[in-house]
Chains A and B, each alone.
Chain A
């Protein structure tokens, strides 16, 4: 590596200095600099995007060649009750997960901001985020086990019946949502906390002198000034939340009876269990469109809140 670099710089150093040739010299070096990212982008982002787009109009089983079927996949998807069910399940997951995660994170961040600067505390809160989702899923699968799980022992000792958190079709999605809230709330709290630290202290002092209490400080100072960060975190969390896969794939695999089959898992099944690659691509495109619209709307909201700040 270093010899290549040395050679390059020698030729560059010998080149004439006038500004006119500067652009060209930049050009050659620049292409060298961006070559790896450009190749990575073309081969693993651009090409697969075009290919996936093409596949969405074909019947492709992973063996042989894709067969052109026009818009058939799109027609099928509209009438696929399982697809819409998985979308609903995903939506349910997203609402519970994002809602609880952001509220909890906001609470923790505000408390830390007003009470302590402890790095120890922040490090501990970050721990679940560093753990693979699969591990988090397994730990909670065990904690919430119907017969032997700690939580059910706890419920037992308080006089309640055992709950089959992963067994009940109604509970499985809320359960998985809250498990991932456990996994990510600390991380999100630290993002909010970092944002709160950027609010100048004198704003609080001024408000406190005016006799504002903690709740008023939070609603009148912290929240409005945190709005841009809130919006950005909301966008990122929402998009990430839609892509729930690991926990489901590692624990329930869509069970009981498809009650936890989220859209990512459904696409995965169509592609790699039933080998409907064309159909899976079509669903992936629909998901892209939905996420695109969501992002667009949210970024508009974000821009609106930014102008408010200035």
Chain B
């Protein structure tokens, strides 16, 4: 398990050497390398094409979905599918464009998802940093046993705790509320706690010890010295938490059935089920899918490099 700790910066050390190696080999364009590049480019195309097709279908008028289904660009591109899934059209307009007549409001669902992700991302990261620091640094009775218990929860599949947690949330009367939805993950996940402790373990104690000699308290040391030092991993774990919260489906599906708290993923499932005829409302669905992907692309555009470079063992979940 010690693998997990030291990987954050190591690729920087070895990267230079491997770069030289690739550079020296780059000149020779052997058949093997050409095939290699073809495979990579193929992988890129297969990765991107479904997104292209999604956007293209979202821009197709519902009436022309059959005619345009084999074309690479819609004959009469339209924004109506986005307008109606975002709830910007009247019911009549929406039905005329192929909607089921049920209310669809992806502006609301996006907002709900953002709240959900922000709450979980912020508080889980903060609390797990506090806990991880305590388990790595502070001495107290039962530390090892407690930590092992908390991390053993990593092994428990989600569905096992999900059933009783649903009943608990129901009995507390917070079904269909933000609190019920964030409750199980806002305080901790074993993964985030484990990650944070692993991060704090190898950091030299010098600074903290110096501060301690100056008579600065443990809490202030954590708040003013340790947290700023841990900014990188905090952002990493925060990002990963947010991504996972964004993808969450099962729990929000159970707890947030009501439209007022419905997240984007749940709304997508509901939208498919609401489809009016035998055939799903593909153009609307693809518009909604596009809406669910846009925040992710924004995230990648701004933080892509950070995410990509922090992905290694610590990034596993």
Contact = CB atoms under 8 A, between A and B. Distances in A.
Interface of A: 5-6, 8-13, 17, 22-23, 25-27, 29-34, 36-41, 43-49, 51-52, 55, 62, 107-108, 111-117, 119, 121-128, 130-135, 138-143, 145, 148-150, 153, 182, 186-187, 190-191, 194-195, 197-202, 204-205, 214, 228-229, 232-233, 236, 239, 242-243, 245-246, 249-251, 264, 267-268, 271-272, 277, 280-281, 284-285, 287-288, 291-292, 295
Q: Which 9 A/B pairs are nearest by Cβ-Cβ distance?
A: A40-B187, A12-B217, A201-B17, A48-B164, A9-B217, A194-B312, A37-B131, A33-B134, A9-B220
B203 interface: no
Interface in B263-317: 264-265, 268-269, 272, 280, 282, 285-286, 289, 292-293, 296-297, 299-300, 304-305, 307-309, 311-313, 315-317
B190 interface: yes
Given A44-B165, A117-B15, A132 B159 contact: no
Given A48-B168, A124-B48, A232-B316, A31 B217 contact: no
A33 B313 contact: no
Contacts of A205: 21
Contacts of A130: 243, 246, 296, 299-300
Contacts, number: 341
Given A40-B127, A250-B269, 7 more contacts: A5-B220, A32-B219, A33-B130, A107-B39, A108-B40, A268-B159, A272-B166
Given A37-B150, A37-B187, A115-B36, A197 B14 contact: yes
A114 to B, nearest CB: 7
Contacts of A127: 47-48, 51, 296-297, 300
B158 interface: yes
B218 A191 contact: no
B163 interface: yes
B153 A37 contact: no
Contacts of B135: 34
Nearest to B224: A9
Nearest to B308: A122
B195 interface: no
Contact of B313 (A9, A47, A232): A232
B311 A44 contact: no
Interface string B73-87: 000000000000000
Contacts of A122: 308
**Interface secondary structure of A, over-half rule:** helix
B63 interface: no
Given A37-B150, A40-B187, A239-B157, A182 B50 contact: yes
B243 A287 contact: no
Nearest to B32: A214
Contacts of B102: none
Contacts of B156: 45, 49, 288
A123 B311 contact: no
A193 to B, nearest CB: 9
Given A117-B19, A132-B292, A142-B285, A284 B36 contact: no
Contacts of A197: 10-11, 14-15, 18
A243 B184 contact: no
Contacts of B32: 214
B175 interface: no
Nearest to B243: A130
A148 B282 contact: yes
A134 B243 contact: no
Best-buried of A44, A130, A133, A205 by chain B (most CB within 10 Å): A44
Interface stretch (B90-98, B228-236, B247-255): B247-255
B140 A30 contact: yes
A149 B70 CA distance: 8
B268 A135 contact: yes
Given A26-B138, A36-B127, A117-B22, A62 B167 contact: yes
Contact of B158 (A39, A140, A243): A243
A5 B66 CA distance: 63
A253 to B, nearest CB: 8
Contact of A200 (B14, B46, B131): B14
Contacts of A251: 272
Interface in B208-258: 215-220, 222-223, 243, 246-247, 249-250, 253-254
B3 interface: yes
Best-buried of B43, B159, B286 by chain A (most CB within 10 Å): B159
